[in-house]
Amino acid sequence: MPRARRISSKGAKQALPVRLASSVMLLLALATGPRAAGAQVGPVIAGAVLGAAGGGMTALGLITAQARDGHYIYAPSLAHWQILPFPVGAVVGATLGTRSGDLLWATARTGTLGFLGGAAAGALVGRLIWKDSEGVWAGGVIGGASGLIVGSFVGALGWKEPGGRETPLFAISIPIG
Protein backbone atom coordinates (compact mmCIF):
# COMPACT_ATOMS: atom_id res chain seq x y z
CA MET A 1 0.00 0.00 0.00
CA PRO A 2 1.42 3.44 -0.89
CA ARG A 3 2.49 5.63 1.97
CA ALA A 4 0.51 8.72 2.84
CA ARG A 5 2.24 11.93 1.90
CA ARG A 6 2.39 14.92 4.16
CA ILE A 7 0.60 17.96 2.85
CA SER A 8 3.16 20.33 1.43
CA SER A 9 2.99 24.11 1.34
CA LYS A 10 0.98 23.61 -1.87
CA GLY A 11 -1.65 21.76 0.19
CA ALA A 12 -1.68 24.56 2.74
CA LYS A 13 -2.21 27.08 -0.07
CA GLN A 14 -5.15 25.00 -1.32
CA ALA A 15 -6.68 25.18 2.16
CA LEU A 16 -6.66 29.00 2.23
CA PRO A 17 -9.81 29.54 0.08
CA VAL A 18 -11.68 26.94 2.15
CA ARG A 19 -10.67 28.58 5.41
CA LEU A 20 -11.57 32.01 4.06
CA ALA A 21 -14.99 30.90 2.77
CA SER A 22 -15.68 29.06 6.04
CA SER A 23 -14.72 32.11 8.07
CA VAL A 24 -16.88 34.46 5.98
CA MET A 25 -19.92 32.14 6.18
CA LEU A 26 -19.48 31.73 9.93
CA LEU A 27 -19.11 35.47 10.55
CA LEU A 28 -22.11 36.32 8.38
CA ALA A 29 -24.24 33.73 10.12
CA LEU A 30 -23.17 34.78 13.61
CA ALA A 31 -23.83 38.46 12.85
CA THR A 32 -27.53 37.87 12.27
CA GLY A 33 -30.03 38.76 14.96
CA PRO A 34 -31.98 35.95 16.62
CA ARG A 35 -35.75 35.69 16.47
CA ALA A 36 -38.13 34.91 19.32
CA ALA A 37 -36.79 32.16 21.56
CA GLY A 38 -39.95 30.04 21.54
CA ALA A 39 -39.97 29.46 17.78
CA GLN A 40 -36.34 28.40 17.32
CA VAL A 41 -35.92 24.75 18.22
CA GLY A 42 -37.15 23.05 15.02
CA PRO A 43 -35.38 25.31 12.50
CA VAL A 44 -32.18 25.31 14.58
CA ILE A 45 -32.00 21.51 14.66
CA ALA A 46 -32.93 21.27 10.98
CA GLY A 47 -30.31 23.91 10.17
CA ALA A 48 -27.61 22.08 12.11
CA VAL A 49 -28.41 18.79 10.36
CA LEU A 50 -28.63 20.37 6.89
CA GLY A 51 -25.48 22.39 7.52
CA ALA A 52 -23.53 19.34 8.66
CA ALA A 53 -24.72 17.43 5.56
CA GLY A 54 -23.68 20.32 3.32
CA GLY A 55 -20.38 20.50 5.17
CA GLY A 56 -19.89 16.79 4.61
CA MET A 57 -20.47 17.19 0.88
CA THR A 58 -18.03 20.10 0.83
CA ALA A 59 -15.44 18.05 2.72
CA LEU A 60 -15.90 15.18 0.27
CA GLY A 61 -15.34 17.60 -2.63
CA LEU A 62 -12.14 18.90 -0.99
CA ILE A 63 -10.80 15.41 -0.33
CA THR A 64 -11.63 14.35 -3.90
CA ALA A 65 -9.86 17.41 -5.33
CA GLN A 66 -6.79 16.61 -3.23
CA ALA A 67 -6.86 12.97 -4.33
CA ARG A 68 -6.97 14.02 -7.99
CA ASP A 69 -3.85 16.07 -7.23
CA GLY A 70 -2.09 13.03 -5.74
CA HIS A 71 -2.61 13.79 -2.03
CA TYR A 72 -4.47 10.87 -0.45
CA ILE A 73 -5.99 10.41 2.98
CA TYR A 74 -5.68 6.79 4.07
CA ALA A 75 -7.09 7.12 7.58
CA PRO A 76 -9.36 9.57 9.42
CA SER A 77 -6.40 10.58 11.58
CA LEU A 78 -4.72 12.03 8.47
CA ALA A 79 -7.59 14.45 7.79
CA HIS A 80 -7.06 17.82 9.43
CA TRP A 81 -8.45 21.01 7.88
CA GLN A 82 -10.40 18.92 5.38
CA ILE A 83 -13.05 18.13 8.01
CA LEU A 84 -13.54 21.78 8.96
CA PRO A 85 -16.69 22.11 6.78
CA PHE A 86 -18.60 19.67 9.04
CA PRO A 87 -18.69 21.84 12.19
CA VAL A 88 -18.74 25.10 10.25
CA GLY A 89 -21.72 23.89 8.22
CA ALA A 90 -23.57 22.81 11.36
CA VAL A 91 -22.98 26.15 13.09
CA VAL A 92 -23.92 28.19 10.01
CA GLY A 93 -27.04 26.09 9.41
CA ALA A 94 -28.15 26.36 13.05
CA THR A 95 -27.54 30.10 12.99
CA LEU A 96 -29.57 30.53 9.80
CA GLY A 97 -32.34 28.50 11.45
CA THR A 98 -32.16 30.81 14.46
CA ARG A 99 -32.47 33.83 12.22
CA SER A 100 -35.43 32.57 10.20
CA GLY A 101 -36.84 29.24 9.09
CA ASP A 102 -37.66 30.82 5.73
CA LEU A 103 -34.05 31.95 5.33
CA LEU A 104 -32.85 28.44 6.16
CA TRP A 105 -35.14 26.80 3.58
CA ALA A 106 -34.30 29.40 0.91
CA THR A 107 -30.61 28.70 1.48
CA ALA A 108 -31.21 24.93 1.39
CA ARG A 109 -33.18 25.20 -1.88
CA THR A 110 -30.58 27.30 -3.69
CA GLY A 111 -27.76 25.20 -2.24
CA THR A 112 -29.42 22.05 -3.58
CA LEU A 113 -29.92 23.61 -7.01
CA GLY A 114 -26.29 24.75 -6.98
CA PHE A 115 -25.20 21.24 -6.04
CA LEU A 116 -27.17 19.63 -8.87
CA GLY A 117 -25.97 22.15 -11.46
CA GLY A 118 -22.40 22.00 -10.20
CA ALA A 119 -22.39 18.19 -10.22
CA ALA A 120 -23.62 18.08 -13.83
CA ALA A 121 -21.12 20.71 -14.98
CA GLY A 122 -18.33 19.11 -12.94
CA ALA A 123 -19.00 15.67 -14.43
CA LEU A 124 -18.75 17.14 -17.93
CA VAL A 125 -15.56 19.04 -17.13
CA GLY A 126 -14.12 15.98 -15.35
CA ARG A 127 -14.74 13.90 -18.45
CA LEU A 128 -12.91 16.46 -20.59
CA ILE A 129 -9.96 17.02 -18.23
CA TRP A 130 -9.27 13.53 -16.90
CA LYS A 131 -9.20 10.62 -19.31
CA ASP A 132 -9.33 7.88 -16.67
CA SER A 133 -12.55 6.23 -15.50
CA GLU A 134 -12.69 8.24 -12.26
CA GLY A 135 -12.68 11.62 -14.02
CA VAL A 136 -16.44 11.87 -14.48
CA TRP A 137 -17.47 11.11 -10.92
CA ALA A 138 -14.56 13.06 -9.39
CA GLY A 139 -15.51 16.09 -11.46
CA GLY A 140 -19.14 15.62 -10.39
CA VAL A 141 -18.23 15.50 -6.70
CA ILE A 142 -15.92 18.53 -6.92
CA GLY A 143 -18.41 20.49 -9.04
CA GLY A 144 -21.30 19.54 -6.76
CA ALA A 145 -19.44 20.75 -3.67
CA SER A 146 -18.53 24.01 -5.42
CA GLY A 147 -22.10 24.53 -6.63
CA LEU A 148 -23.41 23.84 -3.12
CA ILE A 149 -21.24 26.59 -1.66
CA VAL A 150 -22.14 29.11 -4.38
CA GLY A 151 -25.84 28.24 -4.22
CA SER A 152 -25.89 28.56 -0.44
CA PHE A 153 -24.24 31.98 -0.59
CA VAL A 154 -26.76 33.11 -3.22
CA GLY A 155 -29.68 31.86 -1.13
CA ALA A 156 -28.48 33.39 2.12
CA LEU A 157 -27.46 36.75 0.69
CA GLY A 158 -30.37 37.15 -1.73
CA TRP A 159 -33.16 36.26 0.69
CA LYS A 160 -35.98 38.73 1.32
CA GLU A 161 -38.37 38.81 4.26
CA PRO A 162 -41.88 37.55 3.38
CA GLY A 163 -43.85 40.49 2.05
CA GLY A 164 -40.98 41.67 -0.15
CA ARG A 165 -39.19 43.63 2.55
CA GLU A 166 -35.45 43.20 2.41
CA THR A 167 -33.88 42.12 5.66
CA PRO A 168 -30.20 42.84 6.15
CA LEU A 169 -28.13 39.77 6.89
CA PHE A 170 -26.48 41.70 9.68
CA ALA A 171 -26.98 45.13 11.16
CA ILE A 172 -25.12 47.46 13.45
CA SER A 173 -26.96 49.76 15.82
CA ILE A 174 -25.42 52.59 17.79
CA PRO A 175 -27.49 53.92 20.70
CA ILE A 176 -27.49 57.71 20.81
CA GLY A 177 -28.24 59.15 24.23
Per-residue pLDDT of the chain (177 residues; tens, 9 = 90+): 455 444 444 544 555 566 666 666 666 555 555 554 555 678 888 999 999 999 999 998 988 988 888 887 777 776 777 788 888 899 999 888 888 888 888 899 999 999 999 999 999 999 999 888 888 999 999 999 999 999 998 888 887 766 666 555 556 667 776
pLDDT value of residue 5: 47
The domain spans of the chain are 17-157
Neighbours of 123 (CB within 10 A): 20
pLDDT value of residue 29: 58
pLDDT value of residue 84: 85
Q: Measured between alpha carbons, how far is 121 from 126 in angstroms, rounded to an integer?
A: 8
Task: Report yes or no on whether pTM surpasses 0.85.
Answer: no
Contact 82, 62 (CB under 8 A): yes
CA distances from 160 to 5, 68, 84, 123, 152 (A): 47, 39, 29, 33, 14
DSSP state of 38: G
Enumerate the H helices of 31-169 as residue ranges.
41-68, 85-99, 101-129, 135-157
Residue 56 is which amino acid? G
pLDDT value of residue 111: 93
Contact 58, 17 (CB under 8 A): no
pLDDT value of residue 147: 94
In this structure, which long-range contacts are made by residues 128-133, counting pairs with CB atoms below 8 Å and at least 24 apart in sequence?
Answer: 130/68
